[in-house]
Chains A and B, each alone.
Chain A
Amino acid sequence: MMQGIMDLHHDIFFFLILILVFVLWILVGALWHFHYKKNPIPQRIVHGTTIEILWTIFPSLILMFIAIPSFALLYAMDEVVVDPAITMKAIGHQWYWTYEYSDYNSSDEESLTFDSYMIPEDDLELGQLRLLEVDNRLVVPANSHLRLLVTSADVLHSWAVPSLGVKCDAVPGRLNQISILVQREGVYYGQCSEICGTNHAFMPIVVEALSLKDYCDWVDIHQF
């Protein structure tokens, strides 16, 4: 998904540069050629059909070329066709996130569930990010299709990680699905993005992407 967003950005930037250069060229040209010393008595033109047609058609063509990839991405983001490898659940609480991994359960009781609290400023170690670090990270494998179901236990929250191109509202009594594909191993940060009370700013999100093998080891250690 992030790849799609970046590709769209580059597509649009192509048109943006084109328009910028054209407008600057006309602007500088007009200042240069119609300077009062060069052109003391200006010509009065009040109408030009050709140019009016041109400056209507060209911008609409450009808008069309921007709209096509934009809509393609918009609808692609909602697709839930790919079978995911792992399902995780993120449950918003006032004011922390709870994560559940229940793919490996054999009963309703046992499940890999943990709370993810922000590390307070006084407990930070050197190199840790203030207001962003959590005690238990959401661990995922890189390069696998992941399904994240986002919900809430009390009020509205929103689970967002900008680097993964993901933002999803957490609504009590409803499960919202987002598909994630982390392309690189690493640590990704995000914050609650729906104002949810006093400590809204203090319930960050940290995703740690590991290789598939390390992920399996991690599940092994925590599950059994």
Chain B
Amino acid sequence: MGKEIELKTAPADYRFPTTNQTRHCFTRYIEFHRCVAAKGDEGNDCERFAKYYRSLCPSEWVERWNEQRENGTFPGPL
């Protein structure tokens, strides 16, 4: 048996009160990368945004966005 898991996930967000949560995932992804751009990679301040977007976004989407960021073709504001 491995380490104890923590039962915690992205909280309900009042900006996204509807069934459609597509923007919720996208916004959290952007928030993380803006945070990293502003505060640098080291601090743990941005880690919670990373947890949020990983909880919310399908891994396929995250992979595609990571690729697009590397190629400079990411469509969102970073």
Hey, which chain A residues are within 8 Å of B58, CB to CB? 89, 91, 100, 149, 151, 175
Interface size, A (range): 35 or more
| A176 pairs with B19, CB closer than 8 A | yes
How far apart are the CA atoms of A178 and B57 in the complex, in Å?
15
A216-B5, A220-B5 given; A81·B12 CB < 8 A: yes
Task: Tell me what chain B mostly uses at the interface: helix, strand, loop, or mixed.
Answer: loop
Selecting from A22-30, A39-47, A102-110, the interface stretch reads: A102-110
Question: Does B70 have its Cβ within 8 Å of any Cβ on chain A?
Answer: no
| A108 pairs with B54, CB closer than 8 A | yes
Hey, which chain A residues are within 8 Å of B21, CB to CB? 149, 175-177
How far apart are the CA atoms of A147 and B11 in the complex, in Å?
10
How far apart are the CA atoms of A219 and B2 in the complex, in Å?
9
| B9 pairs with A103, CB closer than 8 A | yes
Hey, which chain B residues are within 8 Å of A212, CB to CB? 7
How far apart are the CA atoms of A111 and B19 in the complex, in Å?
24
Among A81, A86, A149, the most chain B Cβ lie within 10 Å of the Cβ of A149
Q: Quick one: which of B12, B19, B51 contacts A178, CB cutoff 8 A?
A: B19
Q: Quick one: which of A108, A144, A224 contacts B62, CB cutoff 8 A?
A: A108
| B56 pairs with A221, CB closer than 8 A | no
Question: Does A59 have its Cβ within 8 Å of any Cβ on chain B?
Answer: no
| A83 pairs with B12, CB closer than 8 A | yes
Give the distance to chain A from B4, nearest Cβ to Cβ, in Å.
8
Give the distance to chain B from A187, nearest Cβ to Cβ, in Å.
22
Q: Quick one: which of A80, A86, A173 contacts B19, CB cutoff 8 A?
A: A80
Chain A interface residues (CB < 8 Å from chain B):
78, 80-87, 89, 91, 100, 102-105, 108, 111, 113, 144, 147, 149, 151, 153, 168, 173-178, 212, 216-217, 219-221, 223-224
